[in-house]
Amino acid sequence: MGKGYFGSSIYDTPDKGKLSLWERFRLNNRLYFTLKYARIVFRSRKEAIMGSYDDIAWADSSDFIFRIIEKTGGKFHISGMEHIAETPDPVLFIGNHMSTLETMVLPAIIAPHRRVTFVVKESLVSHPLFGDVMRSRDPIVVGRTDPRKDLEVVLNEGLELLSKGISIIIFPQSTRSIEFKPEDFNTLGVKLAKKAGVKVVPMALKTDFWGQGKIIKELGPIDRHKAIFIKFGKPFEVTGSGKDENQKIIDFIQSSLNEWQKL
């Protein structure tokens, strides 16, 4: 596969040094961010309705959002990207879910290297703004109200997608949360990985740069003082009950968050 948008296993937003007046105006400017973001969303929605929103368009629009975040002061620190395509077979990307940001930028990081989709809540595929785009990505849709039914859907549809060579991103927490609570990190991902016989790539995310909106959750405030961290771990197999592997993912996330908190 190609090198994608970043060309390396590590990416840090460059320090531009002295900023122009316009660049200073954009910093932490929620209106600028929202308008630029909305423009991409509406364009992507139009392409999805027309049936032309493919994997390349998805990755491109994700990269546009990535660059808008940087222009408004977001500073990315991404590591472990060599693990994304380390194995030629499809994988499960399993990580914590902190904000809208990861849903929007992960395609730019992962999709250039392998076909991928998400496990998402039903409310996202029926959303008036994001529904058409999300449905075009053929996601696995869960209700998050009936764990037994969600497990059945994830296992059945996940096996089908993985058999087609499509990797899956799953956030085992029931909802986005700034605070990482291991007790809310269910075993859906590792159960699917075990049943499908595919490896897991753990992800740790710190994306509280992008807050949650009061009216539209996906249009919340931004805070350029909060650095953005994304880290991918080495792929591993799931054996036994999967309990130890799920704990391994939790430990990976917790240790990364603890490390970033000290910076």
Question: Residue 143: is its pLDDT beyond 70?
Answer: yes
| pLDDT one-digit tens code per residue, 237-254 | 998 888 999 999 999 999
Which of 116, 96, 104 shows the shortest CA–CA distance to 175?
Answer: 96
Q: Are 99 and 119 in contact (CB under 8 A)?
A: no
| pLDDT one-digit tens code per residue, 87-104 | 999 999 999 999 999 999
Residues 207, 205: Cα–Cα separation, whole Å: 6
Which of 26, 154, 167 shows the shortest CA–CA distance to 91?
Answer: 167
Show the CA angle centred on residue 54, arms to residues 52 and 56, nearest 5°. Answer: 125
pLDDT at 195: 95
Q: Are 220 and 213 in contact (CB under 8 A)?
A: yes
pLDDT at 136: 95
Confidence of residue 215 (pLDDT cuts 50, 70, 90): low
| pLDDT one-digit tens code per residue, 23-80 | 888 998 989 999 999 999 999 999 999 999 999 999 999 999 999 999 999 999 999 9
Question: Residue 213: is its pLDDT beyond 90?
Answer: no
pLDDT at 3: 64
